[in-house]
Structure 1
Amino acid sequence: MKLKIEKCDQLCQPDPFIVKDNDDFYIFTTGVDGVHCYYSNELHGTYKHFGIVFSLKEYKEYWAPAVIKIDDTYYLYVSFMPKNSTDVHEQRLTVATSKNILGPYEYVRDLTSPFSIDAHPVLNESGLYLFYSINDYESELAGTRIVVDKMISPMELQGKPKVVVEPSIEQEIFMKNRFKEGQDWYTIEGACYFYENGIHYLMYSANCYENEYYFVGYSVSNSKEKDLTKISYNKYPSSKGYSPLLSKNEFESGTGHNSIIKYKNEWYVIYHGRDIEDESVPYDNRNMRIGKLIIKGNTLKVVRD
């Protein structure tokens, strides 16, 4: 179901990341000129566009922002690239802070070197962790995959990233022969972790949002381990089958890059997608949507209206 947005000049809301703060809901989205934020006092209510909460003069393409509150500070993790660059592989993760969820956020430092995108911070009883995506050019299935690293502080990684989800099937191909003949490029990105009833779930997006097989999948672990760098995940139902949690259907396509929220004891996924009749428009028209998440052991299902 598309989330309602009060009329504004923003045509799209890619990579929506939802945060509940006090009694309100905030969704941060990708933007060319900065990180955008939308807010509502109801999960399924009408969202207002607050505007840009973080931007730097010499940079562009602010991808997949994620926000976490620790003590009295909000930490924004986002990647961007120089304005004078045409190479998206100059994207690298950074951290910015604010005392207000609506910013303005102040740049603190780079967290990693390029290429690094799609941060997902997780705080549990064993510490703070960051899931994100990097490139591997030398693997048999070259491309983008998800790693996790422990954080020394909200502004510094330990520097020991561990691969937790990597490509394994043809439907994860972003582009055939992308950088050289005979080497297809695979993409696993958009990490989204949660823990429920003794099971670790790690959702991800694969392929490219403009392609037929773009989808959200997930991996699971029944480990009792709390240190997220020590957990091994298994793709569900297997590493060799195409069994998407979210993918193109009769009314929407380009469904991917979700975040997650538990509200009134129910789980929901917030993801981007586009109406099926708008697939061919010549601009990015992904907008934020919501679906109820049904959890039955290792099996997840998203109910879409």
Structure 2
Amino acid sequence: MKTNENNIKWTEYNKPFILNRADPYIYKHTDGYYYFTASVPEYDKIILRRSKTIRGLQESEEVVLWTKHETGEMSKHVWAPELYYLDNKWYIYFAAGEAENIWEIRPFVLECEDENPMSGKWVEKGKMQCDNEDPFSFQAFSLDGTVFESKGERYFVWAEKVSVGLQISNLYIAKMESPYKLKTAQVLLTTPDYDWERVAFWVNEGPAVLKRNGKIYVTYSASGTGACYCLGMMMADENSDLLDPLSWKKSRNPVLKTDSEKGIYGPGHNSFTKSEDDSRDLMIYHARPYEEIVGDSLLDPNRHTMILEVKWDEKDIPVFEYLKQEKTEF
């Protein structure tokens, strides 16, 4: 066990992969590079780094692709960027608020037509657009958009607070018409049903998609952003109607949560990638190395990027191995 300059004990479990980078996202591209982006503590820019290896991301150059506006849309709380290569172009999905109304959070899209996203020109495509017949999507606090494909269709999953009554953050899913517009109305995927999803705030957010042998898994973050932050999971068969809520089963218990013995607090907002030889699935997530936070947890910079290897049980259900976890039940 080693101690760093802040007197935090680093172990094999809680030693950060990349310091001070929350909501981490790693994308493995066909050009042989891993691309890494994340929220920065200042919430004012979008960064990107790349490497031929995952470990190389730790020391690779970090480039600022875009910085926030001074006023209006995209001028506050730049959160949770995700990078994709869709239709022969690069896209970044991220959330941002307004300096004049900092909680007016909405999802936005950047586009790059150049081969190298590190040096290419990024163009603002504006707010993510809903289907023409959908009057509800992206009308209230909305963030954490993620994209996946299945059976020739492209889907968008995001978090959005209901616009009336108790401000609950739910997850929604819709098909995509283009990289920046939906072609179906939103469908409610999950709402905070369980006690572990309702600590500090009623929250489901930060979806991430993992596939294996005909099954689609969606992990998501729940509760407030302190030590209570944790991950739940949903599962569907790829041959089912993914816009039918009954196609999805939800885990009864969190699949990743605080483990004080290992010094991991508030694990959440993950992404998935593959090892260099494509033989292993890896979870990229953030956590803190301590429980007590002074002041607003969103202003604490020490949510660090972590990595763990995904294991699979006899039913092909993912197991996130640092935990002495309960068996996942749907």
The correspondence for 1:18, drawn from 12, 26, 33, is 26
Kindly indicate whether residue 173 of structure 2 is the aligned counterpart of residue 162 of structure 1. no
User: Which residue number corresponds to residue 219 of structure 1?
Assistant: 234
Within a 5 Å distance, the mapping from 1:2-151 to structure 2 comes to: 2-5=15-18, 12-21=20-29, 22-31=31-40, 32-45=43-56, 46-58=58-70, 59-86=75-102, 88=103, 90-98=104-112, 99=114, 100-102=116-118, 103-111=120-128, 112-136=138-162, 143-151=168-176
Where do 4+ consecutive residues of structure 1 move more than 6 Å? Answer: none
Per-residue Cα deviation, 1:42-92 (whole angstroms, up to 9, x for no partner): 113334341321223231211111111023210111110112323x2x100
Runs of at least 5 residues in structure 1 that lack an aligned partner in the other structure: 6-10, 176-184
User: What SS class does the counterpart of residue 91 from structure 1 fall into?
Assistant: strand
Deviations 1:177-222 (A, max 9, x none): xxxxxxxx41000011122112121100001121x42201111123
Name the structure 2 match of 1:180.
none
- Going from structure 1 to structure 2, the CA distance change for 1:295 and 1:53 (only over 3 Å counts) comes to same
After TM superposition, give the deviation of residue 279 of structure 1 in Å.
Answer: 4.0
CA contact (8 A) 1:255 1:272 kept: yes
Q: Which amino acid aligns with 1:244?
A: V
What residue is the counterpart of 2:3 in the other structure? none
- Percent of aligned positions that are identical: 24
User: 3-state DSSP class of the match of 2:260?
Assistant: coil
Secondary structure at 2:101's aligned position in 1? coil
Q: Is contact 1:15-1:272 (8 Å) kept? A: yes
**Structure 2: which 5+ residue stretches go unaligned?**
1-12, 129-137, 324-330
Q: Is the 1:63–1:79 contact (alpha carbons within 8 Å) kept by the matching residues of 2?
A: yes
CA deviations 1:119-159 (Å, max 9, x no partner) are 111123322111000112557x7510110111111121125
Match of 1:80, as an amino acid?
A
Aligned partners of 1:204 and 1:217 also within 8 Å: yes
Distance 1:171 1:4 in 2: 27
Residue from 232, 247, 252 that aligns with 2:258 = 247
- SS of the counterpart of 1:247? coil
Secondary structure, aligned partner of 1:228: coil
Give the number of aligned pairs.
Answer: 281
Give the Cα–Cα distance (whole angstroms) in 2 for the partners of residues 124 and 220 of structure 1: 14
* TM-score between the two structures when normalised by the length of structure 1: 0.83
Which has more strand, going by share of residues?
Answer: 1
Deviation at 1:169, TM superposition (A): 1.1
Pick closer, same or farther for the CA change 1:299–1:142 going to 2, 3 Å. Answer: farther
Contact (CA 8 Å) 1:261, 1:269: kept in 2 or not?
Answer: yes
Task: State how far apart, in whole Å, the 2-side matches of 1:127 and 1:253 are.
Answer: 37
Q: CA deviation at 1:4?
A: 4.1
Cα RMSD between the aligned structures?
2.3
Q: Please say if residues 231 and 257 of structure 2, whose CA atoms lie closer than 8 Å, have aligned partners that are also in contact.
A: yes
